[in-house]
Each structure stands twice: as structure tokens, then as C-alpha cells.
């Protein structure tokens, strides 16, 4: 889960910030013409150039062995703009290229990020299910991959059996009590379910492990505000905002939230 996605997905729920999606683009052909015109209102000139370059390489037989890498890179660019359909297309292209675990991992990670980026609940659930299929293949071969297990857990949270996802995160912590991804995700889920005291415990744990974990600092501030500890929340958010090392998008979100306290 990237910093920007966490802010969009979870802060949207906690801060009542309206999620929005930029126009999606479904790529129907391997060779795309007028790519600059197609994305001119949505994608930065820099990323338009990246997209054009990647398409050129994908259609050059000399680069055939790098197909998975280029498809993955294209999906990542589209995901920056919440173009979920296009990202899913390239996840499918990766799976079609071969059936290796590397393909399953790359495709699964794209689908997982698309699931997080989607503002449509039904679409998100479908994408989560598709990501889960790929993660399960990986865990069948390597059950010790805790990062994949943590992500699989989050896809289960939006399934018909959400508790299975929570239990899976707890299993990760039984094996690795200081696993950042599992602790963080449990903290987010606690916020979403209104269990702010539990969330505080999770994020305080992360800050004990790393005082520069600014995402944890942000959500600790949110959790404290939710239980009425406004001054403590302000102090945390101000610390985050004034930190040079913190992510710019995170600082902006913290500043917006602080204004409303």
C-alpha cells in the first residue's frame, strides 16, 4: 500500500474527504496511437512520455523478454491517476504472458493497488477477489511471505468473511510481532470500525519501532481526535506538518484535517 493510496482510501473514510476518480482509459489494443491526445487532460506530460515509450518498447520484438516489466510499469502509471480499468488490463496481460510466480506476484500487486484505488465498492470487491487469487498461488509455494499474507488479509476484509482477514493479520503478528504492515493494517481497520482506542495502541506501537513513521503519526493523531484528545492530536499533526522528511501529500492531508479541529 503506497502512501498516497492510504491517504485516499482510508482518509476518505475517516476524514469524510470525498473520493474522486479521474477518467478511466480501457486499453483495447496492443498498439495505441494518439496516446498523447487520449490522455492529454488527465496525465502529466512527463507520464505521457513514459506511456508512449513503454508502448513503443512493448511493440518492439527486441524487447519481448521484458514484456512483464513494461506491462507492470504501464499499470503503475495508470494507477497514479486511478485509471483502474487500464491497470487491470495490464495485470491480465502479465498473466497471459506466462504462469510464473513472478507473473502472479506482479499481477496480484497491480490488482491489489487497483482494489485500493477504486471508489466503487462492487468494483473494489471484485478486484480484491482477483488479487486474492494471485496471492493464494504465491502462498501455496511460500507460506512464509508475510507481506503477501498481509495483503491477502486485506482482500479478505472486503469478502463475505471479513473476520478471516483480521485473523490472518493476527497470524502474521504471531510469527512477527513487529511486522509493520500487519500492525498498520490492523490500525486502519480499527479506525474504520470506530475502535479508536485499539487504533491508538497499534499506531503508538509503530512509533515506538520508528519515530519517523509519519503515516503512523498521522493516523495516531486522527485516532486521538476521535476520542476527544484534540490537543494531543494537534501536537502530532503539527509535528508531522513541520517535518521535512514527511511525504508532501501526507502533510497536506494532515494540514487540512488540522484546520477542522
The answer to whether position 151 is within a domain reads yes
Predicted pLDDT at 33: 35
Helices 45-58 and 67-80, axial angle in degrees (round to 10): 160
Show which of 120, 141, 162 is a domain's final residue. 141
Are residue 119 and residue 226 in the same domain, yes or no? no
Are residue 136 and residue 147 in the same domain, yes or no? no
Are residue 113 and residue 171 in the same domain, yes or no? no
- Report CA dihedral (73, 76, 156, 134) to the nearest 10 degrees: -10
Predicted pLDDT at 1: 38
Average pLDDT for 228-245: 96
Q: Locate 1 and state its grid cell.
A: 500500500
Are residue 33 and residue 137 in the same domain, yes or no? yes
| Structural domain harbouring 129 | 1-141
Tens digits of residue pLDDT in 164-211? 999 999 999 999 999 999 999 999 999 888 899 999 999 999 999 999
The answer to whether position 162 is within a domain reads yes
CA nearest to 127, candidates 170, 82, 96, 167: 82
Q: Rounded distance, CA 7 to CA 198, Å?
A: 20
Most confident listed range (16-25, 112-121, 157-166, 233-242): 233-242
Show which of 110, 141, 172 is a domain's final residue. 141
Count the domains in the chain.
2
Provide the 10 A C-beta neighbour count for residue 199. Answer: 26
Q: Rounded distance, CA 95 to CA 108, Å?
A: 9
Q: How confident is the model at residue 16 (pLDDT cuts 50, 70, 90)?
A: very low
Q: Which residues, other chains included, contact 252 with Cβ-Cβ below 8 Å and sequence gap of 6+? A: none
Least confident of 40-49, 50-59, 127-136, 164-173: 40-49
Average pLDDT for 135-145: 96
Q: Which residue has the higher pLDDT, 57 or 23?
A: 57
Q: Rounded distance, CA 135 to CA 128, Å?
A: 10
Are residue 34 and residue 59 in the same domain, yes or no? yes
pLDDT higher than 90, residue 42: no
Q: How confident is the model at residue 62 (pLDDT cuts 50, 70, 90)?
A: confident
Q: Which residues, other chains included, contact 43 with Cβ-Cβ below 8 Å and sequence gap of 6+? A: 51, 77, 81
The answer to whether position 259 is within a domain reads no
Q: Locate 190 and state its grid cell.
A: 480499527
Average pLDDT for 42-64: 89
Average pLDDT for 227-250: 95
Are residue 155 and residue 121 in the same domain, yes or no? no
Q: Rounded distance, CA 209 to CA 38, Å?
A: 46
Show which of 106, 141, 176 is a domain's final residue. 141
Are residue 153 and residue 49 in the same domain, yes or no? no
CA dihedral for 243, 246, 249, 253, sign (positive or negative): negative
For residue 238, give the CATH number of its domain: 1.25.40.10
Give the global pTM. Answer: 0.82
Are residue 124 and residue 150 in the same domain, yes or no? no
Q: Which residues, other chains included, contact 15 with Cβ-Cβ below 8 Å and sequence gap of 6+? A: 222, 253, 256, 257
The alpha carbon of 115 is separated from its chain's Cα centroid by a whole number of angstroms, namely: 8
Tens digits of residue pLDDT in 103-115? 999 999 999 999 9
Are residue 124 and residue 10 in the same domain, yes or no? yes
Least confident of 33-42, 82-91, 118-127, 190-199: 33-42
List C-alpha distances in Å: 157 to 37, 160, 197, 218.
39, 8, 20, 23
Strand, coil or helix: what is 194?
A: coil
Are residue 167 and residue 137 in the same domain, yes or no? no
Tens digits of residue pLDDT in 67-100? 999 999 999 999 998 899 999 999 999 999 999 9
Q: Where are the alpha helices (DSSP H) in 15-120?
A: 35-39, 45-58, 67-80, 84-97, 101-117
Are residue 166 and residue 133 in the same domain, yes or no? no
Average pLDDT for 144-167: 94
pLDDT higher than 60, residue 52: yes
Amino acid at each position: 500500500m503506497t502512501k498516497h493510496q492510504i491517504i485516499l482510501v482510508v482518509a476518505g473514510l475517516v476524514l469524510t474527504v470525498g473520493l474522486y476518480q479521474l477518467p478511466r482509459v480501457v486499453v483495447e489494443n496492443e498498439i495505441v496511437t494518439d496516446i498523447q491526445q487520449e490522455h492529454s487532460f488527465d496525465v502529466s506530460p512527463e507520464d505521457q512520455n513514459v506511456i508512449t515509450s513503454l508502448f513503443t518498447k512493448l511493440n518492439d520484438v527486441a524487447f519481448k523478454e521484458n514484456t512483464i516489466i513494461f506491462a507492470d510499469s504501464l499499470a503503475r502509471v495508470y494507477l497514479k491517476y486511478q485509471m483502474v480499468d487500464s491497470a487491470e488490463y495490464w495485470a491480465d496481460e502479465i498473466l497471459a504472458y506466462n504462469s510464473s510466480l513472478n507473473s502472479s506476484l506482479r499481477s496480484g500487486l497491480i490488482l491489489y493497488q487497483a482494489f485500493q484505488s477504486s471508489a466503487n465498492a462492487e468494483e473494489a470487491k471484485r478486484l480484491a477477489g482477483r488479487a486474492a487469487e494471485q496471492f493464494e498461488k504465491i502462498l501455496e509455494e511460500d507460506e512464509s511471505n508475510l507481506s503477501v499474507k498481509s495483503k491477502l488479509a486485506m482482500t479478505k476484509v472486503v469478502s463475505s468473511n471479513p473476520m478471516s482477514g483480521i485473523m490472518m493479520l493476527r497470524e502474521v503478528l504471531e510469527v512477527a510481532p513487529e511486522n509493520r504492515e500487519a500492525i498498520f493494517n490492523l490500525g486502519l481497520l480499527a479506525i474504520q470500525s470506530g475502535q479508536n482506542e485499539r487504533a491508538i495502541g497499534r499506531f503508538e506501537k509503530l512509533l515506538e519501532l520508528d519515530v519517523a513513521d509519519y503515516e503512523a503519526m498521522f493516523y495516531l493523531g486522527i485516532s486521538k481526535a476521535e476520542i476527544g484528545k484534540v490537543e494531543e492530536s494537534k501536537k502530532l499533526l503539527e509535528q508531522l506538518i513541520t517535518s521535512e522528511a514527511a511525504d508532501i501529500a501526507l502533510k497536506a492531508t494532515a494540514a487540512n484535517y488540522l484546520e477542522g479541529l
